[in-house]
Structure 1
């Protein structure tokens, strides 16, 4: 299989990642003291919509975030992870690729504004699906809106 097929660049692929995932490790999550930042607000929104959020702090925060224990590396998270959502600057992602490869989640999602094609290629070549430069909250809101507007038997 061509590794480029693991680069998720269309809406259908994004929807598939979201709807087939439940456990999301958030690399670079922020604590409640930074509730105004997307690195807290997005995982909080996901948690409110049924996702199991696993905090992975790179900012030195200790203790629970969103009521969950915090880990210092993705590979330290017990059990399987469906998606790792990444809140790191593009130039900082390379330092985390080996950690991501060690955990081997089904997908890695670089948040809106974050693109690192070299890291994405390494992950994709390892069989991990990669979404770049998209917001999980915005994309989930689209999926929820689609689901709410779909009513079986309704006139189209």
Structure 2
């Protein structure tokens, strides 16, 4: 299936429940903060990742330094990073076998995406879930039981 296929994006957003948001910010004016808050309101558990804020709280969740520090598995890693800073995080996602890798609007790393896909990870790139959820008519996420 081609990357960023509408059906693929819809299936991802309807199935994931726990998201690691890499590049999380405590600053309310930052897009990563806005998207994290939106995803929480939609019923997703969003775990913030930012080495600068590790151990602090953002939107009621503890911040972790990197994906390898997370206390539980996640369904998706969403990257709010400059493209040149994504390779190490993509490699962590591959090592951890995170099922979905989502690179935010403007975050394009074709080689990293190809590595992730070769490892069996679904990749969405240059899209924003805050835009895709209402566009695709996705209902709020139901909690896992």
TM above 0.5: yes
After TM superposition, give the deviation of residue 102 of structure 1 in Å.
2.2
Runs of 4+ in 1 over 2 A off after TM superposition: none
| Equivalent residue, structure 2, for 1:17 | 12
Aligned length: 139
Rg larger for: 1
TM-score between both structures, scaled by the size of structure 2: 0.89
Query: What is the Cα-based RMSD across aligned positions, in Å?
Result: 1.7
What does the per-residue CA deviation read over 1:87-138, in whole Å, with 9 as the maximum and x for residues that have no partner? 0011111132222122211100000111100000111111110000001100
Show structure 1 runs of 5+ residues with no match. 148-156
Quick check: 1:70 aligned with 2:63?
yes
Quick check: 1:121 aligned with 2:114?
yes
1:46 partner SS:
helix
| Equivalent residue, structure 1, for 2:34 | 41
Show structure 2 runs of 5+ residues with no match. 140-145
User: Are 2:20 and 2:77, in contact at CA under 8 Å, matched by a contact in 1?
Assistant: yes
1:36 partner SS:
coil
